Amino acid sequence: MERKRIDYIDWLRIICALAVIGIHITMTQPNNYTVQEIGKDNYIILTCVYTLIQWAVPVFLMISGNLLLHSNKITFAKVKRMTIRMGTVLILFGSAFALLEQIFERKTLEIEMIPNSVLLVLQQKSWSHLWYLYVLIGIYLVLIPLKKFVDNSSNKEICIFIAILLAGNFIIPTFNIAFSTKIENYMLFTQYVTYVLLGYTIGGLRVEENDREKNVIDTMTNRGGVWIGLWLLASIIKIIVQYANVVRCGEGAALILGDRIFTMIQALSVFCLFKKYMDAVHVGKLAKSISRCSFGIYLIHPFFINLLYKMMNITPTNFPLLGIGFAIPLLWLFVFILSWGGTFIMLKVPGINRLL
């Protein structure tokens, strides 16, 4: 029997869709221009806002783990359908975005750009936000063995495996960046598997006899004050490090822009807080619409950002009459409304609606 609709998952989808838009509103300029070109104050504001919402995609992965690994309907046929669907989305939207980027660069449309766009997608050279789709396809391909692992392992074995993944994917890489060490670590893809398993674990381990692990996890995830404190601590550390590095060195902090452990703490905190406080909050018609559109919002929001930034020269640092403090939330809201509306329309189109 499948679990009933989970309210806090809908709320998480909504907040993640908003956060993803904020990530690209704030980081498009720092990713393409230097501190000197943007201005030190602008650079600090943009990157510090980014550090507060960097958890968005990890939480999306945790949602996938929560829903997929608790499902009783994971079969080879279903995984095949999911993989084909995501591959189709990647080729379709990735090729369109790659074509648009070529048009932006060359100021013209030529027929050879179309097959070249498909090639660029296969080389992962379309718009950067699509990396999440490549990861999802990889997750789907290992989903059946992951499902068999969680179904046939004890809660203790699952927790030990997650602890190993956390050490390899978050603690060691952050330690290497922070202290300029070179501890060898071959866990590349598994950082995403870690988030999937964390989502499953927080969603609820199985009931076993003398189940210390389940009791510990349930107790930990229910400590709202602790998670608020951890989120604030991780966020404050990231902001302090980012600010100090820009002021001292005139560049972004590698620890923050390539951060893993603090972002993991933020993502874990957000997931646990929503599970505790939003699970009983009714999801109204408007919220359900945004939740249903969240994947489409993720896919198409860079289209509107690129139109604003590249075609109209409207950016957070070059906004008529308003400073960056007003420009960021205004552009954020504007792109969200356009992306939500665009997705709502696409969901009415036969064929496209099945992909989204």
Q: What is the predicted pLDDT for the residue at 347?
A: 96
Tens digits of per-residue pLDDT, 197-232?
Answer: 999 999 999 888 678 889 999 999 999 999 999 999
User: What is the Cβ-side half-sphere exposure of residue 149, based on CA atoms within 13 angstroms?
Assistant: 18
In angstroms, rounded to a whole number, what is the distance separating the alpha carbons of residues 289 and 340? 9
Average pLDDT of 80-103? 95
Confidence category of residue 157, pLDDT binned at 50, 70, 90: very high
Question: Computed from CA positions of residues 55, 56, 57, 59, in that sequence, does the dihedral angle turn out positive or negative?
Answer: positive
Q: What is the predicted pLDDT for the residue at 271?
A: 98
Confidence category of residue 301, pLDDT binned at 50, 70, 90: very high
- Give 75 or 252, the one with higher predicted confidence: 75
Tens digits of per-residue pLDDT, 41-78?
Answer: 999 999 999 999 999 999 999 999 999 999 998 999 99
CA 78 to centroid of chain Cα atoms = 24
CA geometry: angle at 134 spanning 301 and 58, to 5°?
70
Average pLDDT of 13-28? 96
**pTM score:** 0.92
Alpha-carbon separation of residue 354 from 143, 183, 303, 325, 348 (angstroms): 21, 45, 21, 39, 10
Q: What is the predicted pLDDT for the residue at 70?
A: 93
Query: Is residue 106 scored above 50 in pLDDT?
Result: yes
Query: Is residue 168 scored above 90 in pLDDT?
Result: no
- Give 183 or 197, the one with higher predicted confidence: 197
Confidence category of residue 1, pLDDT binned at 50, 70, 90: very low
Burial class for 312, CB neighbours closer than 10 Å (0-12, 13-18, 19+): exposed
DSSP 130: G
Alpha-carbon separation of residue 165 from 135, 142, 154 (angstroms): 17, 16, 17
DSSP 189: T
- Give 184 or 136, the one with higher predicted confidence: 136
Tens digits of per-residue pLDDT, 313-351?
Answer: 999 998 767 789 999 999 999 999 999 999 999 999 999
CA geometry: angle at 115 spanning 114 and 116, to 5°?
90
Confidence category of residue 277, pLDDT binned at 50, 70, 90: very high
Report CA dihedral (250, 251, 254, 255) to the nearest 10 degrees: 50
Average pLDDT, the chain: 91
Query: Is residue 19 scored above 90 in pLDDT?
Result: yes
- Whether 49 and 26 have beta carbons less than 8 Å apart is answered as yes
- Determine the residue type at 8: Y
Burial class for 94, CB neighbours closer than 10 Å (0-12, 13-18, 19+): buried
Average pLDDT of 227-239? 96
Tens digits of per-residue pLDDT, 110-145?
Answer: 888 999 999 999 888 999 999 999 999 999 999 999
Which tokens is 218 given? 């349930």
Query: Is residue 248 scored above 60 in pLDDT?
Result: yes
